[in-house]
């Protein structure tokens, strides 16, 4: 089958690239075209236009790819939420709208739905979910949000599939190594927690930037200045394997990145995940999270997608 994989790919976010690799490796029997902000490979296509600059890129080729596809898969991540910007759910809604025009089945796979702060963001998500051929959500909060929506497909509770990839990596701890994972909008709570940890004795201190934006780098430099006499190494991993290798060598991880928390838990490395707001996805990952149960739920999500694709 020819499938279109839609997600926040090509923006130098390691967490999203983990999801991209997961789908390509787990479902190799299908021919995938990946929607990317910056296509580099032969199987990647441009995003649909959502601004002046993107309008002059060959987005019409993407429309053609969707028209010829046997299915369109929204692959993992928190695509349908307007917490950071209402433009996000609007953008992803456009892909579903194009797919509906050409009668291409839409699948929401391992999705995080919400939270929402606007009625427009909610409407975009509900509109896509209503007509989706299959729906699997990665957390109970997402399942609760769409429980009252009249969806054609029965939503399946699953878990972030990155856990499956991370659980294959063995930790290789060497001494006391502190790893800090900020984000561009890291909160003062995170910085306060980091400051406390930096007062302790460590053999090595690393700041890992999963998406090295200008603000991410500012936070990294701030952490470096807080450390004062301690040497802080700032890392910008370009590949998933480099990211996992860095996590594997840590003895403690402080993160405000979801996939940083998942990787640490999968490798059984002590960590603390600092939530951005109450009941967000980070608040659901602790050292008590049952890895086997997570992997069981991932299998349910895989079965949900495979069954739906076979019936197309």
Question: Per-residue pLDDT tens for 197-227?
Answer: 999 999 999 999 998 888 888 888 888 888 8
Amino acid 122: pLDDT: 97
Please tell me whether residues 141 and 11 are part of one structural domain.
yes
Cβ atoms of residues 266 and 169 within 8 Å: yes
Does residue 229 carry a pLDDT above 70?
Answer: no
> Which pTM value belongs to this model?
0.92
Residue span of the structural domain in which 93 resides = 2-157
In this structure, the answer to whether residues 65 and 181 fall within a common structural domain is no
Query: What are the tens digits of pLDDT across the range 85-131?
Result: 999 999 999 999 999 999 999 999 999 999 899 999 999 999 999 99
**230 Cβ neighbours under 8 A, 6+ residues apart:** 198, 202, 205
Number of domains observed in the structure of the chain: 2
Q: Are residues 17 and 133 in the same domain?
A: yes
Which of 116, 133, 157 terminates a domain? The answer is 157
- What CA–CA distance (Å, rounded) separates 154 from 148? 11
Chain-centre distance for alpha carbon 124: 19
Residue 151 pLDDT: 95
pLDDT in tens, 61-85: 999 999 999 999 999 889 999 988 9
Q: Check whether the bond before 234 is cis (ω within 30° of 0).
A: no
Regarding whether 142 and 74 lie in a shared domain, the answer is yes
- What is the per-residue pLDDT across 276-287, written as a single tens digit (0 to 9) for each? 777 678 888 899
Task: Please give the Cα distance from 278 to 138 (Å, whole number).
Answer: 17
Element (H, E) at 135: strand 134-137
Considering the domain boundaries, does residue 301 fall inside one?
no
């Amino acid at each position: 089958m020819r499938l279109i994989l839609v997600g926040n790919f090509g923006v130098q976010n390691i967490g999203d690239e983990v999801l991209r690799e997961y789908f390509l490796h787990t479902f190799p029997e299908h021919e995938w075209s990946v929607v990317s902000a910056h296509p580099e490979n032969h199987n990647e296509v441009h995003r649909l236009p959502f601004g002046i600059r993107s309008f002059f890129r060959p987005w019409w080729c993407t429309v053609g790819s969707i028209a010829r596809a046997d299915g369109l898969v929204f692959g993992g991540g928190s695509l349908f939420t307007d917490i950071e910007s209402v433009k996000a759910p609007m953008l992803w809604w456009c892909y579903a709208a194009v797919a509906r025009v050409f009668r291409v089945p839409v699948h929401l796979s391992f999705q995080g739905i919400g939270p929402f702060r606007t009625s427009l963001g909610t409407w975009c998500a509900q509109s896509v979910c209503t007509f989706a051929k299959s729906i699997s959500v990665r957390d109970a909060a997402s399942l609760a949000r769409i429980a009252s929506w009249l969806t054609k497909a029965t939503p399946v509770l699953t878990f972030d599939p990155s856990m499956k990839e991370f659980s294959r990596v063995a930790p290789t701890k060497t001494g006391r190594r502190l790893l800090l994972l900020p984000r561009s909008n890291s909160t003062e709570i995170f910085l306060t927690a980091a400051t406390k940890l930096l007062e302790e004795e460590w053999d090595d201190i690393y700041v890992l930037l999963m998406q090295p934006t200008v603000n991410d780098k500012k936070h990294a430099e701030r952490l470096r200045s807080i450390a004062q006499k301690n040497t802080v190494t700032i890392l910008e991993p370009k590949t998933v394997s480099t990211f996992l290798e860095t996590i594997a060598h840590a003895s403690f991880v402080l993160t405000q990145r979801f996939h940083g928390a998942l990787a640490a838990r999968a490798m059984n490395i002590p960590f603390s995940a600092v939530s951005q707001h109450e009941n967000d996805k980070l608040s659901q990952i602790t050292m008590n999270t049952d890895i086997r149960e997570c992997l069981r739920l991932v299998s349910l999500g895989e079965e949900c997608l495979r069954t739906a694709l076979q019936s197309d």
